[in-house]
Amino acid sequence: MMKFIVTPILLALVAGVQAQDLESLGTAKDYSYFQLRGAPVTVTTRTLKPPKDTLIVPAAAPVATGPSWGLQKEEQWQFDTSGVLLKASTRELQRKKEELHTVQYTYSKPGKRLQGIGNYDKDRLTDSAALRYNKSGQLLQYIATDGKSKPAFRVTYTYDRKKQLTIIRKLNEDDFPVEMIKYKYAASGLLTETQHFDRNFRQVATKRYSIKRDKDGMLNMSSASYNDLNALMDGYTQVKDASGHVTEESQVDKDRRVTEYKGYEYNEQGDVVAEKVIGAAREEHRVYRYRYDDHNNWTSREVYINDLLETVEERSLAY
């Protein structure tokens, strides 16, 4: 069954989860999520900025970095032998200030259900979560606590006889409902509508979904959000090709005007090589150039914005 899911930012603190992210809280990250091949155990990525006043345009030869390049960010992912993510760390260097964020994942057994998530700033636990499942393996509860193991919030999940998600409830630290989402499906099992309620059990928004495939195999998915007076608030469309790659995305406002458009092109490895972004006050063209290892994982990615080099990402993988 195909559903619309907004994937949460990998290192987002669980206490800051928004309503639209509640569906995917229990989603474990694995090789397929990161498009990795060859079963690496660690992946380290360093994002480097060219020296000030250095202008580099796309050229035939790969760009060579050096000691004068500035380190902006360093990320590391650690996987177990079954390919699920155990630990993700991000070290950022902004204005000579260093920030280190780490997320640790625990499982019932290697490669099995995700049981717990811990968020750390440096070595200090900032918040954590425990996950509970039903006999069918579906997520029943997501229980979040702060750094001192005090309740932060709890999310509960309800399913119908067809094992389709029907209700998500978010409860605060006092176990009082503060948000609720109800799901409706077509006879085919496709999601058609979500209804959103506030802490007073008042319906504040309705989101309607549409999924269509054309004769060329392109998948067109769209959603539109309406307020309690059934007036359009915003909308979103996405187009995927026959291989499942997103080729177009667009956002519209309440007046049905496109506020942002993104278009993508891919190489044979399935990596984005060109991206076009058009917004209300900007137009940006991004070009990505890669180098790959023997497992077909990229080890270098040059990022060009409007024909000038923005960053180079160097990646090392241990298998």
Cα gap 260→257, rounded to integer Å: 9
Tens digit of pLDDT at every position of the chain (319 positions) = 333 333 332 223 333 445 456 777 767 789 988 999 999 999 999 999 999 988 888 877 889 999 999 999 999 999 998 899 999 999 998 777 889 999 999 998 877 889 999 999 998 999 999 999 999 999 999 999 999 999 999 999 999 999 999 999 999 999 999 999 999 999 999 999 999 999 999 999 999 999 988 888 889 999 999 999 999 999 999 999 989 999 999 999 999 999 999 999 999 999 999 999 999 788 999 999 999 999 999 999 999 999 999 999 999 999 9
